[in-house]
A = this chain, B = another copy of it.
Amino acid sequence: MSTIDLPLTRESIVAAHALIKPHIHTTPVLTNTTLSHLASTPQRPEALRGTPWEGQEPAKPKIRLFFKAENFQKIGAFKVRGAFHAVLRLVEEKGIEEVRRKGVVTHSSGNHAQALALAARTLSVPAHIVMPSISTPSKISGTRAQGAILHFSGSTAAEREAVVADIIKETGSTLIPPYDHPHIMLGQGTMALEFEEEVAKMLEEKPELSVHYRETRGEEEGKAKGRKGGVLDALIAPCGGGGMLSGNAIYFHSTPTLVFGAEPEFEGADDARRGVAAGERITSVKTLTIADGLRTPLGPHTWKVISDKDYVAGLYAVTEQHIKDALRLVLERMKCFVEPSAVVGLATVLFNEDFRRLVEKEAGEEGWDVGLIFSGGNTTIEAIVKMFGDVDKKEAARGEGVVGADGKEVAENVAG
- Residues of A in contact with B (beta carbons under 8 Å apart): 25, 27-28, 71-77, 110-111, 114, 136-146, 292, 328, 331-332, 334-339, 377-386, 388-389, 392-393, 395-396, 398-415
Contacts and interface: CB of A to CB of B under 8 A. Distances in A.
B336 A136 contact: no
A366 to B, nearest CB: 27
27 contacts: A28-B28, A28-B415, A72-B411, A75-B409, A75-B410, A136-B398, A138-B406, A142-B404, A145-B406, A146-B408, A332-B337, A332-B379, A334-B337, A335-B377, A378-B403, A378-B409, A378-B411, A381-B384, A382-B392, A382-B395, A382-B396, A382-B401, A383-B401, A385-B393, A385-B396, A386-B401, A389-B389
B383 A384 contact: no
A396 B385 CA distance: 8
A142 B399 CA distance: 13
Copies of this protein chain in the complex: 2
A340 to B, nearest CB: 9
Contacts of A392: 381-382, 385
A388 to B, nearest CB: 5
- Which of A25, A335, A337, A377: most chain B CB closer than 10 A? A335
- Which of A74, A393, A408: most chain B CB closer than 10 A? A408
A380 B401 contact: yes
Given A335-B71, A335-B338, A415-B72, A380 B407 contact: no
Given A142-B406, A382-B392, 13 more contacts: A25-B413, A142-B403, A142-B409, A143-B407, A145-B408, A292-B402, A331-B381, A380-B399, A383-B396, A384-B384, A384-B385, A386-B401, A389-B396
A27 B28 CA distance: 12
A76 B409 contact: yes
B406 A380 contact: no
